[in-house]
Structure 1
Amino acid sequence: MCKIKPRNFSSSESVERVMDQVEKYIMTRLYKSVFCPETTDDENKDLATQNRIRALHWVTIQMLCVSMDEEIPEVSDNVVKAITDVIEMDSKRVPRDKLACITRCSKHIFSAIKITKNEPASADDFLPALIYIVLKANPPRLQSNIQYITRFCNPSRLMTGEDGYYFTNLCCAVAFIEKLDAQSLNLSPEEFERYMSGQASPRHPSCDGSWPKTSPEHGSTTTNPVLAQLHQNLELLSSLSSRQEKLMECAQSLQSDLLSWQDSVQQEVQDILEKYPLEIRPPIASAIDADNVENNRLPPPLTPQVFSG
């Protein structure tokens, strides 16, 4: 008699696979009910974080001391993929799939740093770069996704392994962004407030007044050409605004001078009229139209004459 050997589900790997399938089935069915529920303040936190990231749009890669050179095509490609992955997290329903997006994003960041520095990236390099990616991506419903993963993901996956490590770093990055201040970016409080209010835009000129260049051999970072163009446009707009203000001041001054000149001319005319009033006399009739002219003295009218040929 043939005996069927039962499958061994005692191993941790098998149990993990079963739990993943159960998690996928349950969370896919319950996603709309348990993601960002009305009983929590997740939505308010999402809006607060989104507005905070928008207000920090001026933060540059140099301020965060990120070791990524976006001038290198491979680095720029990895940055774009990292941004895409962290944004894609919101489209997933299963906590494990959301974690996978975070993991892929983080691996692209490590690749970008490695290409820039020509050596493996360290944890000290990774966190500032992750903060930079989050600021550039401004992922939708970021807080809700973090809370969803925390509440419903397999605890063992969050406590161990690379998924848990990358997720912990994402939570640290969001916390840093929420508490980011002038000291965090090595700025004075006055500079920080001007940048936050939009009154000024950061620029990092070198000693000769030019923008710093990148040298991959020395591991330094390059100014993004898009940011350089942005600063140039802002300076041009500022110059145009100043010129417009001066033009408006000149126009208002000219208008005031014209009004004053008009008043003075009218006053002079009035003074002349008062000093030399005009006398309006009736017109003198000509002799031919006078009543005392004797019509009989006028020459007879010409009569036509007919000449025969």
Structure 2
Amino acid sequence: MSLKSERRGIHVDQSELLCKKGCGYYGNSAWQGYCSKCWREEYQKARQKQIQEDWELAERLQREEEAAAYGSTAQAPPGAQPLTFSKFEEKKTNEKSRKVTTVKKFFGASRPGAKKVLGGKRRGDAPEAKSGSPSISRQVSLETDRVSKDFVEFLKPFQKPGQDLYKQCKIFLEHMHHKRELSIEEQSEYAQDFYQSVAEKLQTRWKVSPEKVEKAMDQVEKYVMTRLYKYVFCPETTEDEKKDLAVQRRIRALHWVTPQMLCVPVNEEIPEVSDVVVKAITDIIEMDSKRVPREKLCCVTSCSKHIFTAIRTSKEEPASADDFLPTLIYIVLKGNPPRLQSNLQYITRFCNPSRLMSGEDGYYFTNLCCAVAFIEKLDAQSLNLSQEEFDRYMSGQSGPSSSTSSSSLLPRGRESSCPEGSALALVRHNLEAVGQLSRRQERVEREARRLERDLIEWTEGLGREVRGLVQRCPLRLHPGTPASGTPAAPAVAIDSDNLEDPRLPPPLQPQVYAG
């Protein structure tokens, strides 16, 4: 997939994310730009072709050896020994090792031979006590038991198909145990075949709905990969660990890259945006702590959704794909996720292929692979820098000028209008900002004092009106019936003496109810 850098930012044509065979699914750099399905087809074709070439070579060598042996026997003295079969095998092996190229060279990067492991054991075959602390081993065992119980509970409603599915998973795990000495590519191919076989049986033989098939495949992947994780994640027979260290060193060397260089449309000065950026970085780092490919993929999806939220909040408009990729690159540079290449390879090799070929998970994962490839090939032109500046920054001799790192703090249109240096321009801008804040504070204080005076005047005026009203309309209380039994005065209205006052409503006459 070709990456193009323009002045407006990093741009990748969305069509370049798709499989180069044109099937419509998402491609992957680990599959040479193919999707999972097309890559396996090409892999099988290349392997069959290689097997055929090996047989042809073996037959040709055998014919040559037979002809040479027959000629030497006819011309040799009577006591000479004929060419033995062991010498023929030795010559054939040397010939094959010199001329035959393996399928691995067609589809993978050139790499040295597999590392020799002492004692004939791989790292996954080591005892638990040596692979980590006892507490970590107990935690892994508890997690495995929990996943097993969850898987059994999930299969109970399926009844007979659930029992068959559980048996198939156990058989697959047993076969994978015997295939540990094979290459990781062969183990990955076997796992992909298992996923495809289970999905087809669920749909055709057991007539399970597509929604339940997707859930069942997620549970199957979780069950089997929780057990296989320590054997197939970053195996010693691959160069995954070396690539992890190379990517980490590369990201550390690019610590000087700023959002402005990548044209990232995210304003981290906004508190909401800053919080979302932290969540995105946390998600991409948390990917390494997961054991199931699906869970690692969920971390990538969650990180990507946080990125879209940050862009939308900063721009106050919907985010586009051209905004997403530069921001994803910036998040990866800022977070420097541990074992990034190992996690990408693990997802590529052992995740359910339907997840990577389509849907939002496949789209986000393809963009992450594209971002890592961009970081590995990042150059001066990608960041709109001269080669001299790029070399100085990479060597650590100098860093970007403060105008580059602080241009987001200056108002738009002011970066080039300041005749002073970038540092003086920033100081001047900060002084202006402090002056504006001081003037705003003084204005707020004046308004507060005026509001206080208005409240005092209103309170005093209201008190005067109440006192005047009380003076004009005094309250008169009439005594009730005395205790001696003397008849009391007839009941009258309280405001009966103020009948002439037009400001009062008509008097209310009391009503007495018997009973």
| TM-score (ref. length: structure 1) | 0.65
Tell me, which stretches of 5 or more residues in structure 2 are unaligned? Answer: 1-156, 162-205, 414-422, 428-515
CA distance in 2, matches of 1:205, 1:84: 29
Matched letter for residue 394 of structure 2: M
Matches within 5 A, 1:11-30: 11-30=209-228
Matched, 1:191 2:405: no
Q: How far apart are 1:197 and its partner, in Å?
A: 0.6
Residue number among 218, 234, 238 corresponding to 1:40 in the alignment: 238
Structure 1 residues 148 and 194: CA distance shift in structure 2, 3 A = same
Matched, 1:213 2:433: no
Q: How far apart are 1:205 and its partner, in Å?
A: 2.3
Residue number among 255, 270, 276 corresponding to 1:72 in the alignment: 270
Structure 1 residues 5 and 35: CA distance shift in structure 2, 3 A = closer
CA distance in 1, matches of 2:311, 2:376: 24
How many residue pairs match? The answer is 215
CA distance in 2, matches of 1:20, 1:45: 29
Matched, 1:82 2:280: yes
Q: How far apart are 1:111 and its partner, in Å?
A: 0.3
| 1:101 aligned residue | 299
Q: How far apart are 1:11 and its partner, in Å?
A: 1.4
**Secondary structure in structure 2 of the residue aligned to 1:139:** coil
Matches within 5 A, 1:200-279: 200-203=398-401, 205=403, 211-213=407-409
What per-residue deviation string (whole Å, max 9, x for no partner) do you get for residues 29-81 of structure 1? Answer: 11000100111110000000000000000000000000000000000001000
Matched letter for residue 360 of structure 2: E
Residue number among 205, 222, 247 corresponding to 1:49 in the alignment: 247
Structure 1 runs, 4 residues or longer, greater than 6 Å off? 4-8
Higher gyration radius (CA): 1
Structure 1 residues 116 and 87: CA distance shift in structure 2, 3 A = same
Matched letter for residue 211 of structure 2: E
Structure 1 residues 66 and 13: CA distance shift in structure 2, 3 A = same
What per-residue deviation string (whole Å, max 9, x for no partner) do you get for residues 217-247 of structure 1? Answer: x9xxxxxxxxx9xx99xxxxxxxxxxxxxxx
CA distance in 2, matches of 1:149, 1:20: 13
| 1:10 aligned residue | 208
CA distance in 2, matches of 1:39, 1:143: 15
Structure 1 residues 214 and 78: CA distance shift in structure 2, 3 A = farther
Identity %: 75
Matched letter for residue 72 of structure 1: I
CA distance in 2, matches of 1:5, 1:117: 49
What per-residue deviation string (whole Å, max 9, x for no partner) do you get for residues 134-183 of structure 1? Answer: 00000000000000000000000101110110000000000000000000
Q: How far apart are 1:186 and its partner, in Å?
A: 0.4
Residue number among 160, 168, 177 corresponding to 2:366 in the alignment: 168
RMSD (CA atoms): 2.6
| 2:289 aligned residue | 91
What per-residue deviation string (whole Å, max 9, x for no partner) do you get for residues 106-132 of structure 1? Answer: 000000000000001000000000000
CA distance in 2, matches of 1:76, 1:203: 23
| 2:149 aligned residue | none
CA distance in 1, matches of 2:212, 2:304: 27
Structure 1 residues 191 and 149: CA distance shift in structure 2, 3 A = same
| 1:155 aligned residue | 353
- Check conservation: 1:67, 1:129, Cα contact below 8 A: yes
CA distance in 1, matches of 2:407, 2:232: 49
Tell me, which stretches of 5 or more residues in structure 1 are unaligned? Answer: 219-227, 233-309
Matched letter for residue 64 of structure 1: L
